[in-house]
Amino acid sequence: MSTYQAHFRIWRGDPGGGELTDYTVEVHDGEVVLDIVHRLQATQAPDLAVRWNCKAGKCGSCSAEINGRPRLMCMTRMSVFARDEVVTVTPMRAFPVVRDLVTDVSFNYVKAREIPAFVPPAGLGPGEYRMRQEDVDRSQEFRKCIECFLCQDTCHVVRDHEENKEAFAGPRFLMRVAELDMHPLDAAEEAGLDRRRTAQEEHGLGYCNITKCCTEVCPESIRITDNALIPLKERVVDRKYDPLVWLGKTIRRRKA
């Protein structure tokens, strides 16, 4: 097993201010960035704040920015960097910082609460839902989300424009709207809830300019833009901007 000394720059600070602090730290074969942060805690910076949990890329806790790219620290191998490369680790820059590498991601919880939940179909009790696999495939892809919020962090709509946070739910939660709108048993429409219209009017889908950064950073490789956001945009067009679809539906309704 080989070891070497790596040069790390880690942002240390709190909402009042902070700076990038240099560290030289030992790295062993097979380690990931989170291992190195833990070694720093153990040897040089016992007060370094970092949020982590599973170390397996499944809990979504250790989101940060490594050399300027939003990534999970536990899934970023040290072998992707040259041995003489400076590795810069900062907290996610779209959210308020709590301390060091820990950010306050409560924006996401607020947005999650704004999305109306699954509406159970009438006449079916728990355990009586039956769905064909091809009908749930699309929604299941979105269920892989580990809520690391890297997509929310990298989305320039809120990252570069704090003022848009009120109007824009962000890719993670627009994906949630898409998931529910594609769900074969969601009875929102029957209950008078138009998910497509609200996606545009209440959750800010129109702000998305499909530049695909959310897809690029997703550690679960969910094709957020192609499979959730663009299909949702097309569904919004059906509802709001396509007179042919409106005409077809009106004629069908009259025939019925």
Q: What is the longest distance spanned by two Cα atoms in the chain? A: 76
Q: Does 190 bind another protein (CB under 8 A)?
A: no
Among 91, 170, 171, 219, indicate the residue that binds another protein (CB under 8 A): 91
Q: d(Cα 172, Cα 214) in Å, to the nearest integer?
A: 8
Task: Kindly tell me which of 129 and 241 has the beta carbon lying closer to another protein.
Answer: 241
Q: For the chain, state the CA radius of gyration.
A: 22
Q: Residue 142, SS3?
A: helix
Bridge partners, residue 88, by sequence: 9
Distance of CA 204 to the CA centre of its chain: 16
Q: d(Cα 168, Cα 199) in Å, to the nearest integer?
A: 10
Q: Does 255 bind another protein (CB under 8 A)?
A: no
Q: Does 107 bind another protein (CB under 8 A)?
A: no
Q: Does 231 bind another protein (CB under 8 A)?
A: yes
Q: Does 84 bind another protein (CB under 8 A)?
A: no
Q: Does 13 bind another protein (CB under 8 A)?
A: yes
68: CB partners within 8 A, 6+ apart:
88
Q: Does 32 bind another protein (CB under 8 A)?
A: no
Cα angle for residues 39, 71, 53 (degrees, 5° grid): 55
Among 159, 172, 176, 195, indicate the residue that binds another protein (CB under 8 A): 159
Q: Does 134 bind another protein (CB under 8 A)?
A: yes
Q: Are 148 and 63 in contact (CB under 8 A)?
A: yes
For residues 53 to 72, the per-residue mask of contacts with another protein, x marking binding by CB under 8 A and - elsewhere, is ------------x-xxxx--
Q: Residue 174, SS3?
A: helix
Q: Give me the residue label for tokens 């048993």.
A: 185
Task: Kindly tell me which of 112 and 136 has the beta carbon lying closer to another protein.
Answer: 136
Task: Kindly tell me which of 113 and 249 has the beta carbon lying closer to another protein.
Answer: 249
Q: Does 157 bind another protein (CB under 8 A)?
A: yes
Residues 233-252 that bind another protein (CB under 8 A): 233-238, 240-242
Amino acid at residue number 36: I
Contact residues: another protein, CB under 8 A: 11, 13, 15, 17-20, 65, 67-70, 85, 88, 90-91, 93-97, 103-104, 132, 134-135, 137, 154, 156-157, 159-164, 182-184, 204, 206-213, 216-217, 226, 230-231, 233-238, 240-242
